Amino acid sequence: MPVDDHTLDQVAMSRAEYERLLDMLDREPTEVELGIVGALWSEHCGYKHSRPLFHHFPTEGPFVLTKVGEENAGAIDLGDGWCAVFKMESHNHPSAIEPYEGAATGVGGILRDIFAMGMRPVALLDSLRFGPLTDPTNRHLFNGVVAGIGGYGNCIGVPTVGGEVQFDESYSGNPLVNAMCVGVGRTEHLLSASASGPGNPLVLVGADTGRDGIHGATFASVELDENSDERRPAVQVGNPFLEKLLLEACVELAEEHGDWIEGLQDLGAAGLTSSSVEAAERAGTGVEIDVALVPRREEGMTPYEVMLSESQERMLVIPKREHLDEVLALFRRWEIHADVIGTVTDDDMVTIRDGDEVVARIPVNVPTDPPMYPPEGVRPSELDRWQAEDLDAVPDVADPTGALLELLADTNIASRRSIYRQYDHQVLNNTVVKPGGDAAVLRVKGSTKGVSVATDCNGRFVALEPRVGAAIAVAEAARNVVATGARPAAVTDCLNFGNPEKPDVAYQLEQAILGISDACSALGTPVVSGNASLYNETPSGQVLPTPGIGMLGVIDDVHRTLTATPTEGDTLLLLGAPLAQPAAALAGSQYLTATLGRLAGRPALDLDHEAAVQRFVLDVHAAGLLSAAHDCADGGLAVAAAEMCLAAGAGLDAGDVELGTRLDAALFGETQSRFLVAVSDAAAVADLEGRAAAAGVPSTRLGTVGGERMRLGPVDLDLEQARAAYDGGLERALAG
């Protein structure tokens, strides 16, 4: 019988999509079939509005080992037989309802994506967004999310080494919680996520199945509203101690017995449904599952509930049938449940049984072929108004020292120490550069190599000019890893946007993807994995468009890593742009947004220049000229200089530099493609300046690191006063 609108709402399916399903099946679906298709056709699993745009991304390169979308994460070749796998995903809606468990299970899910490929997770990062901390609800969400990330990561023993957090009114009630994980291993141990080999068994390993998380994928595919609390049962509950056992068992399987299995897949969104159907689709096979064989922790669960449960800490293993007993024994040795629940078939069908009763039987290509909605975007009218603002008419800063102190204490700039001190960032003993700098650096044990990892995105820039703002997110993430001496290698993304059915959001989404593609092409950093999280809206409106970027860079000799900490006596230089800047450099800056109380201006980026500056920094570091480097970003030159001084515990003597006619633009403008670098002696300074002139990269001496005051043009700031503002800014805001 035809389904009613309430049932379709539960599976986030429109009436038109249901009619499409009827045409594909030529009959009414069963309850389980509707649940399967609804989950895999949801935005969260099917990428209905974003996938039509993914063809813009550059996805190939000489070091890329995987094809985007065909595995759980992207893999790149580090050389000497080593590879790194990494991915970023969102857990936004669950975290808005239950912040601790929403964030914790987001960490658990991204970890499983990595060890599903046979790699050992070595680092976690997070990219977080919240409403202003003046609101008690936002403070509750912030504290819960940070605790959830730390609670899960600390328990499982994978270090949380980096990330970023920003605050804006648009995120109130709809926080963004993006988690990134990096794994490392031998290339020959990479595993696939395909259900190959008809006749091979399907083995479910890990936790028993419960009712937590049912409709989680569809919950993430609709806007949050005043009734969202009613969806609390859709939020999963994690068990990091069980996941630790699962991790070790899967890594052992990959490293020592990879020839025993055809595939390994995690159970994430849509649980057993997505893992089995997507694995079959990748292999061009079918699957048959008997839900009566699935171990459960709750009584009376229906086949529908078993197939759609998103209970955590579960994996689907496809052993070669001749090695089934060995695989079962391995997991049971780790005290993990391992049960045969089905078989790979050669009929290209998804068959679900409950004992002798067939409750679903549909072709694999039905749930894996969601309808696509190419965006029909319309440029938001406010862009013209924001970009036309005459920034020359904004009064110049009257008190530069006071303005810098306010920026250092601002929650969008202040030290994140109160966050990352809750995380164990040293476990596994791979962390070479700890949180708090431009990027984290980890050694690859067994080699001289290291990887540098960072996340980045400034939603203000994307809101003002989506294509340029998204390109800036890639460029800044690349600058972060370059500042550690690493060569940017590849990108993962997490596309956080509002309702894509709205023309202005569709415009933002398409332009942002084009911007990411522009920057990745220019910088030689292919997109190897990612995630789209749409419908990030509340009744108050959409979040700032936030295409989060996770960047991975490679260091050939980890002993030559750079940090942002200069040594007393070093000379500080600005690379990439002159000191004097026009008022247009204030566009979207933290200073201007705080001054005006709104967005204004038009961000700009020259990608050719960006690539040249990054190459130059790496070249002069390779030549041994740099003792420290730091990206100029939020807060501009003055904040970057203050951060380096605070890291060094020493001031700066640069009071006589010429900053031009606009002090605010020179000090606090967020002009792109700039680094502050420290050089230890006069000969090295002269050498660097000569190389810069030859490369066409602007360079300016600022002054000498030392003393107890930071002097930069008219700024004259006591270092301890700066430290009090910077170190305590976030904690003061959290205190209410």
Query: Is residue 728 packed enough to be buried (19+ CB in 10 Å), middle (13-18) or exposed (0-12)?
Result: middle
Lookup result for tokens 């002090």: 663
Burial string for 129-158 (b: 16+ CB within 10 Å, else e) reads bbbebebeebbebbebbbebbbbbbbbbeb
Annotated active-site residue 91? The verdict is yes
Q: Which of 404, 378, 405, 429 is nearest to 637 (CA)?
A: 404
Query: Is residue 226 packed enough to be buried (19+ CB in 10 Å), middle (13-18) or exposed (0-12)?
Result: exposed
C-beta separation of 365 from 306 below 8 A: no
User: How open is the CA angle 147-149-153, to the nearest 5 degrees?
Assistant: 120
Q: Which of 223, 231, 224, 357 is nearest to 290 (CA)?
A: 357
From CA 101, how far away is CA 96, in angstroms rounded? 10
Residue 397: strand, helix, or coil: coil
The H or E element spanning position 120 is: strand 120-130
Q: Which two tokens stand for residue 289?
A: 């599952």
The partner residues of 433 in beta bridges, in order of sequence, read 441
Lookup result for tokens 């700032």: 544
C-beta separation of 453 from 550 below 8 A: yes
* Strand ranges (E), 187-297: 201-206, 261-266, 286-290
From CA 291, how far away is CA 271, in angstroms rounded? 13
Q: Return the DSSP state at 548.
A: E
Lookup result for tokens 């340029």: 468
* Strand ranges (E), 299-430: 314-319, 338-345, 349-354, 357-363
Lookup result for tokens 């050694």: 443
What torsion do the CA atoms of 457, 461, 465, 471 make, to the nearest 10 degrees? Answer: -40
Q: Which of 176, 261, 158 is nearest to 224 (CA)?
A: 176
From CA 704, how far away is CA 270, in angstroms rounded? 57
Q: Which of 158, 190, 154, 157 is nearest to 70 (CA)?
A: 190
Amino acid at 522: A
Radius of gyration over alpha carbons of the chain, in Å? Answer: 26
Per annotation, catalytic residue among 6, 49, 56, 91:
91
The H or E element spanning position 718 is: strand 715-718
Q: Give backbone dihedrals phi and psi of 532, rounded to 5 degrees, phi first.
A: -120, 130
Q: Give backbone dihedrals phi and psi of 683, rounded to 5 degrees, phi first.
A: -65, -40
The H or E element spanning position 74 is: strand 74-79
C-beta separation of 497 from 536 below 8 A: yes
From CA 419, how far away is CA 531, in angstroms rounded? 25
Q: CA end-to-end span of the chain, whole Å?
A: 55
Helix 719-734 and helix 136-156, axial crossing angle in degrees, nearest 10? 100
Per annotation, catalytic residue among 44, 189, 215, 621:
44
Q: Which two tokens stand for residue 547?
A: 């295409």
From CA 83, how far away is CA 656, in angstroms rounded? 49
Amino acid at 471: A
Q: Catalytic residue positions?
A: 44, 91
